[in-house]
Amino acid sequence: MRTVARVLIGILILTAAGFLAYGMLVPATGTKTDKGSLSGAVEALFAASFPDQTGTAQSLDQWRGKVIVVNFWATWCPPCREEMPELSAFQDQYRSRDVVVLGISTDDAAKIREFAKESPTTYPLLSGDFEAMVLAESFGNTKGILPYTALIRPDGSIASAYMGRLDMKILEKDVIALIAAHKQL
């Protein structure tokens, strides 16, 4: 009887691990998600303040009026780490066009500081801790998948959201469209 219980517990653990791995790996192409009615999410973003890698609190409101690529990530997440050099290059390419990439981590500031020593980025890394996942959920990440990225228009509305590792060509196409639309206003 104990052997059967151990086998069942083992199967449950393996199943749970499989679902977690599936959730992290399957949406690895930056699948766009339905943004639905997420108007309160952006106001929550601009009301938030998170410490950067030095521990200094950064109000997210300072980036209002720009095209913002909000990337939710964690130091333990392989797809998150893989896309960070691409996001840095993207930030370098579009910084002068009023585009900012923000990396909001589910880790504490100390872990981000250590990570940044190994893998520096050209965009701000902020420590959202548990609040980061709550904020990501308000942006439509109901599955808790990392990385998760939201694209915010200069007027503060959500243009797109992407589950999993970003496809930089899709992100670039979407950002260029936002820049063009903003210039027409």
Tens of pLDDT, residues 2-35:
665 564 454 545 444 443 343 444 443 455 544 4
Annotated catalytic residue 112: no
**Mutual angle of helices 78-94 and 168-184, in 10-degree steps:** 40
Q: Comparing 10-24, 92-106, 135-149, which segment has the lowest mean pLDDT?
A: 10-24
Average pLDDT rounded to a whole number, residues 100-120: 93
Which of 45, 80, 126, 158 is labelled catalytic? 80
Q: What residue segments make up the domains of the chain, in order of their start?
A: 2-184
Rounded to whole angstroms, the Cα distance separating 158 from 136 reads: 12
Please say if the pLDDT value at position 122 is more than 90. Answer: yes
Which of 42, 74, 77, 135 is labelled catalytic? 77
Task: Supply the DSSP symbol for 28.
Answer: T
As a whole number, the mean pLDDT across the chain is 82
pLDDT bin (cut points 50, 70, 90) of residue 105 is very high
Residue 35's Cβ-count burial label (10 Å; 0-12, 13-18, 19+) is middle
How many residues are given for the chain?
A: 185
Over residues 37-57, the pLDDT tens digits come to 455 677 778 888 999 988 899
Annotated catalytic residue 161: no
Average pLDDT rounded to a whole number, residues 52-79: 94
Q: Which CATH class is domain 2-184?
A: alpha beta
| pTM exceeding the 0.85 threshold for the entire prediction | no
Instruction: Name the strand (E) or helix (H) holding 10.
Output: helix 2-25
- Residue 8 corresponds to which amino acid? L
Strands 67-73 and 99-105: parallel
- Residue 109: both structure tokens together: 């500031």
